[in-house]
């Protein structure tokens, strides 16, 4: 991995993460409470209760932990751009490359960032900022499983849908095509991810809950919304990184 690729991919990923996470964070707060608390099960009812009882600021409780987590994930986008070519040299096929890349990202994320994810989830649930390394990795196994499902399904799905959209090898995708690929990837990921997302949130916040099957899909519409926006933004970054590498190979 050269320095230019590292800087380019890190800055693109950081800008994408901070912008999208800040925009989506109020939905994240509603989703976390929907997954953990008894009472209203509809998103708009929970949002109304939060606003009426705690005010507008409650929708941003835990955002600082989320943005710190996003800022520290400088390894993620270099891994996305550099690991697949490495696995390709080992003789692995496209989808195998993406799956192993997703597993690698999930493992690094879990080891380093679980305390911040736990602090964010507890703050969003209780409205109180609570950050401590004591029990900071509690719920880490559920968080790792959620991340693994997310990244493996997202990276393999976006690779498949991106290549299916191309009419010629290495042809850049249009904005419409990127949006279409993002929607397709997000809908696939959200269906697969929902139960693991609920389980991870409850484990991280130490919530006692029923294991009824119906509760495992609480917050699914908000998961789908988040995945759609994240996927479109992420695929745009991946396409930029891929095009950048192709241009360097062609003209460098």
Q: pLDDT averaged over the chain?
A: 86
Give the residue, 72 or 111, on which the prediction is more confident.
Answer: 111
pLDDT class of 6 with cuts at 50, 70, 90: low
pTM: 0.86
Could you give the percent of the chain with pLDDT greater than 70?
87
Average pLDDT on 135-156 reads 93
pLDDT value at position 238? Answer: 82
pLDDT digits (tens, 9 = 90+) for 199-226: 999 999 988 765 565 577 788 899 999 9
Give the residue, 18 or 8, on which the prediction is more confident.
Answer: 18
Instruction: Could you please state the CATH topology (level 3) that the domain comprising 3-251 is classified under.
Output: Mitochondrial carrier fold (1.50.40)
pLDDT class of 247 with cuts at 50, 70, 90: very low
Domain-by-domain residue ranges, the chain? 3-251
pLDDT digits (tens, 9 = 90+) for 176-186: 998 999 999 99
pLDDT at 251 exceeding the cut of 70: no
pLDDT digits (tens, 9 = 90+) for 15-29: 888 999 999 999 999
pLDDT class of 246 with cuts at 50, 70, 90: very low
pLDDT digits (tens, 9 = 90+) for 90-145: 999 988 999 999 999 999 999 999 999 999 999 999 887 666 666 789 999 999 99
Contact 204, 139 (CB under 8 A): yes
Q: Is 106 exposed, middle or buried (0-12, 13-18, 19+ CB in 10 A)?
A: buried
Contact 78, 10 (CB under 8 A): yes
pLDDT value at position 243? Answer: 66
Three-state SS for the chain is CCHHHHHHHHHHHHHHHHHHHHHHHHHHHHHHHHHHCCCCCCHHHHHHHHHHHHCHHHHHCCHHHHHHHHHHCCCHHHHHHHHHHHHHHCCCCHHHHHHHHHHHHHHHHHHHHHHHHHHHHHHHHHCCCCCCCCCCCCCHHHHHHHHHHHHHHHHHHHHHHHHHHCCCCCCCCCHHHHHHHHHHHHHHHHHHHHHHHHHHHHHHCCCCCCCCHHHHHCCHHHHHHHHHHHHHHHHHHHHHHHHHHHHHHHHC
The neighbour count for residue 91, using CB atoms within 10 Å, is 7
pLDDT at 59 exceeding the cut of 60: yes
| Pick from 134, 234, 150, 232: nearest CA to 199 | 150
pLDDT at 12 exceeding the cut of 70: yes
pLDDT value at position 252? Answer: 41
């Amino acid at each position: 991995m050269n320095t230019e690729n590292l800087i380019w991919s890190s800055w693109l990923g950081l800008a994408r993460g901070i912008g999208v996470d800040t925009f989506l964070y109020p939905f994240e707060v509603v989703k976390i409470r929907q997954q953990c608390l008894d009472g209203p099960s509809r998103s708009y009812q929970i949002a109304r209760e939060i606003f009426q009882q705690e005010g507008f600021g409650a929708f941003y409780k835990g955002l600082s932990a989320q943005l710190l987590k996003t800022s520290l994930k400088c390894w993620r986008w270099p891994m996305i751009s550099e690991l697949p070519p490495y696995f390709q040299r080992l003789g692995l096929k496209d989808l195998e490359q993406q799956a192993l890349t997703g597993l690698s990202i999930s493992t690094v994320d879990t080891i380093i960032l679980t305390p911040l994810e736990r602090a964010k989830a507890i703050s969003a649930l209780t409205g109180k900022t609570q950050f401590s390394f004591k029990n900071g990795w509690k719920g880490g196994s559920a968080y790792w499983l959620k991340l693994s499902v997310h990244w493996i399904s997202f990276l393999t799905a976006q690779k498949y849908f991106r290549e299916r959209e191309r009419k010629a090898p290495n042809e850049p995708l249009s904005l419409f095509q990127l949006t279409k690929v993002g929607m397709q990837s997000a809908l696939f990921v959200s269906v697969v991810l929902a139960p693991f997302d609920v389980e991870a949130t409850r484990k991280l916040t130490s919530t006692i809950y029923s294991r009824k099957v119906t509760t495992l899909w609480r917050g699914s519409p908000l998961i789908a919304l988040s995945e759609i926006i994240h996927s479109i933004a992420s695929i745009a970054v991946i396409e930029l990184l891929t095009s950048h590498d192709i241009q360097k190979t062609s003209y460098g």
